[in-house]
Amino acid sequence: MGYIELMDISKSYNKQSNVLNGIDLNIEKGEFFVLVGPSGSGKSTLLRMIAGLEEISGGTLKINEKIVNHLPPKDRNLSMVFQNYALYPHLTVEQNILFGLNARKIDKQVQKKRLEETAKLMGLSDLLKRKPRELSGGQRQRVALARAVVSEAPLCLMDEPLSNLDAKLRANMRIEIRRLQKQLGLTMIYVTHDQVEAMTMGDRIMVLNDGVIQQVGEPITLYNKPSNLFVASFIGSPKMNLGKAVLTDDHLIIEEELKIPINSTQIETNIKNKNLIIGIRAENLPLGSNGEETYEIEVVNVEQLGNETLVSFEVGSELWTAKWLGQWLGKVGDKVPVHISIENIHFFDAHTGNLIQAASNTNKQEVVKI
Amino acid sequence: MSMSNPTLESLENEISEINFEQIKKKQRLKSFAKGMLFLLPSIVLFGAFLFYPLFKTIYLSFFLTNAQGETTVFVGLQNYIDMFASPVFQQSMKSTFLFVLYTVPTTVVIALFLAVLANEKLKGIGLFRTIFSSTMGISVAAASVFWLYMFHPSIGFLNKMLEIFGIDAIGWLTDPKWALLAVSATTIWMNLGFTFLILLGGLQSIDSYLYESADIDGASYFYKLRRITIPMLSPTLFFVITVTIINAFQTFGQIDILTQGGPQNTTNLIVYSIYREAFANYQFGTASAQSIVLFIIILVMTVLQFKLGERKVHYQ
Ligand SMILES: Nc1ncnc2c1ncn2[C@@H]1O[C@H](COP(=O)(O)OP(=O)(O)OP(=O)(O)O)[C@@H](O)[C@H]1O
Ligand SMILES: [Mg+2]
């Protein structure tokens, strides 16, 4: 029994084909739940249905064990932060924050107290008399958050709240939102199309594509055991290297180019001679050293990030990227040895795209943060 | 130190050689000339069709004229003094202000009401939008003739209705008590389409997110109307009110067709009065003086509105 339960929820606009299909989901109280997916996958639609701004076409939605399908937004006891913040441009910061409390005719004394607390919490105390247009992007964002906080609703919905901010501010706000959520014990449903945001903020993540759930789980699980090719390539940056492969008796042949010897104990036998797609993360393609099985590759691009180096090379028709710690000073055209280990390879069914076997080596010793 | 000093000095020399002030002056002059060039067409047009007639009118208002409109005797301010003493002019002023008072608030309130209704997302709302805005496409003459029939004492729709309820017929356009109201009603009806359309446009440009956010906050319909719709619409409302006031002061067509200023001068609005002075009585001097008064009234009203309005209006 979760705090929010979605049972076989579906949605179609104007009686056309479904934009969401069979969504089954439980969200626990106090959880930071992230909805992630590419543009047009139906994230906003799902969030707006939970908020009550959009009609639910099929299925049941429960909040706090009560069916709420029919309830208008104001009776669902939640707050929402919109992508463009939806601040009232003609009202001051103070009036913006108090708009909801005023609408609900909450006692003036209580309003004042809550305003003071919230403004202090969000660092807005000095800005209360300003209009939204006199604020910076980050400050507007904080006003939008303050409006959600001041309502004291236990459930908070956010639709891509950071997408209008620059990268540095975004990193700050990620931490601020996360801290606020823990501090107030809010249940949060957070929509983003940015997998970094999803990985860094979520207790659990749901990956959505074309209105269908791809996978629900903890960030690390999604990273280590992506249940299909979509999740594999969506989560992680740079994205997972993929390639067609076939498994013979003692070799794995990738893109008819790389031939990796295996011993049969490492692989489930039932995938032999099937059409496979294999995946390997960029950080699992280290520069080869002596005494290891290595493959010669030709560098086609080098990206220096300062603390690490991204090196691209071609494998058959695919462009793969390796991530090496530190500053590697090679050049385009160099031939370098790369080590590929069978424990780091994920196996996917080429037809269905589903995971057959995840990599047995899970990077536990490394910090998986980007 | 010894290395950097010579370079610094030479830089300073270089700077002093360039005369910044002079270059800036030149550039300013250039951009002024360019600006003037762009303004020239409108300056010429305004000059020929606005400023010249304006000054000519001021000039005329100090003279008596013959029937051809040529100046005969310079009388100074006598035209103005006579005019303000004339009971006909006083009646005309009173009617004009009453007319503005009757038409402007009513038009704006009704149009706002219709626009808020037509802004709801309902099936077939397009039909109502078309109907509400349809009077925009009707010329003053056509509308006046249409209302002339409505007001007709014996076969008019309004009196027919009264007859059904057993009420005596009313001489809408001939009774001094009713004539101004009848003309006002016609004008409201005629201006409704335009005002409605502008206000609807204003309503539709309000971000729907604001309403959704208010819905989540638990705001009622009237709370949203009061706290979001009206303030966000204020620039549009301001524009509409200004335009409607100016239009009301300049009303002519429907007066000419419906009442010709009668009965007992109750609908002799100022523009009609000017027209009569000039083209019926051939008193171009007095007519000019009245025009100047009208000009000043509209100017003062507009300035006053901007002064008062600016504080209340929220611009994005
Ligand atoms: N009001 C609407 N009427 C018809 N179709 C809609 C409407 N709103 C959204 N859609 C469609 O529903 C699908 C999902 O849209 P949604 O806005 O939920 O995507 P999203 O995942 O939030 O994308 P983004 O990351 O770009 O915000 C899209 O294909 C979109 O075209
Ligand atoms: Mg969206």
Pairing of strands A258-261, A335-339: unpaired
* Residue A279 reports pLDDT greater than 60: yes
Same domain as B262, residue B171: yes
Q: Determine the distance in angstroms separating the CA of B234 from the nearest CA of chain A, rounded to an integer.
A: 10
Helices B270-279 & B284-312 angle (0-180, nearest 10): 160
**What does the pLDDT look like over A70-114, one tens digit per residue?**
999 989 999 999 888 889 999 999 999 999 998 888 899 999 999
B185 lies in which domain range?
86-308
Across the interface, do B216 and A51 touch by the CB < 8 Å criterion?
yes
Q: Which ligand is nearest to the CA of A193?
A: 1
What lies within 8 Å, CB to CB, of A266 at 6+ separation is: A342, A343, A360
pLDDT in tens, A236-274: 888 999 999 888 877 888 888 888 887 766 666 667 667
Residue where one domain finishes, among candidates B43, B60, B77 = B60
* The total number of structural domains that make up chain B: 2
The strand pair at B63-65 and A258-261 is best described as unpaired
The DSSP symbol for A287 reads B
Question: Do residues B43 and B131 share a domain?
Answer: no
Nearest protein CA to atom 8 of ligand 1, as residue: A45
Q: What percent of chain A has pLDDT over 70?
A: 94
- The confidence score (pLDDT) of residue B316 equals 57
Model confidence over B94-133: pLDDT tens digits? Answer: 999 999 999 999 999 999 999 999 998 888 889 999 998 8
Inside any domain, residue B160:
yes
- Clarify whether residues B56 and B115 are in a common domain: no
Same domain, yes or no: B169 and B25: no
- Kindly indicate whether the domain formed by A238-361 is annotated with CATH number 3.30.460.10: no
Would B67 be classed as within a structural domain?
no
**Residue B236 included in any domain:** yes
Residue A188 Cα, gap to closest chain B Cα (Å): 16
> What are the angstrom distances between the C-alpha of A39 and each of A190, A241, B138?
15, 22, 48
Domain A4-224 CATH (choose: 3.40.50.300, 3.30.70.270, 2.30.40.10, 1.20.1090.10): 3.40.50.300
Domain ranges of chain A: 4-224, 238-361
- Residue B200 falls within a domain, yes or no? yes
| In a domain? residue B240 | yes
- pLDDT tens digits, B209-259: 999 999 999 899 999 999 999 999 988 998 899 999 999 999 999 999 998
Region of residue A369 (left: phi > 0; alpha: psi -120 to 50; beta: else):
beta
Average pLDDT over residues B285-312: 88
Distance from Cα B214 to the centre of ligand 1, integer Å: 22
Contact B146, B61 (CB under 8 A): no
Report d(CA A290, CA A337) in Å as an integer: 10
Q: Is residue B72 a part of any domain in this protein?
A: no
Report how far ligand 1's centroid is from the alpha carbon of B194 (Å): 35
Residue B96 shares a structural domain with residue B212: yes
For residue B190, give the CATH number of its domain: 1.10.3720.10
CB A73 within 8 A of CB A53: yes
Paired tokens of A74? 């104001």
Classified as helix, coil or strand, A355 is: strand
The ipTM value here is 0.81
Domain-embedded: residue B259: yes
A22 has pLDDT over 70: yes
Measured from the alpha carbon of residue A17, the closest ligand is: 1
**Residue A362: pLDDT band with limits 50, 70, 90:** low
A44 CA to middle of ligand 1, Å?
7
Interface contact flag, A104 B218, Cβ < 8 Å: yes
Q: Do domains A4-224 and A238-361 have the same CATH topology?
A: no
B300: in domain: yes
> Mean per-residue pLDDT for A301-324?
92
d(CA A135, CA A139): 6
Residues B279 and B206 in one domain: yes
Identify the pLDDT of residue A370: 45
Question: Which pTM was predicted?
Answer: 0.79
Answer yes or no: do B127 and B33 share one domain.
Answer: no
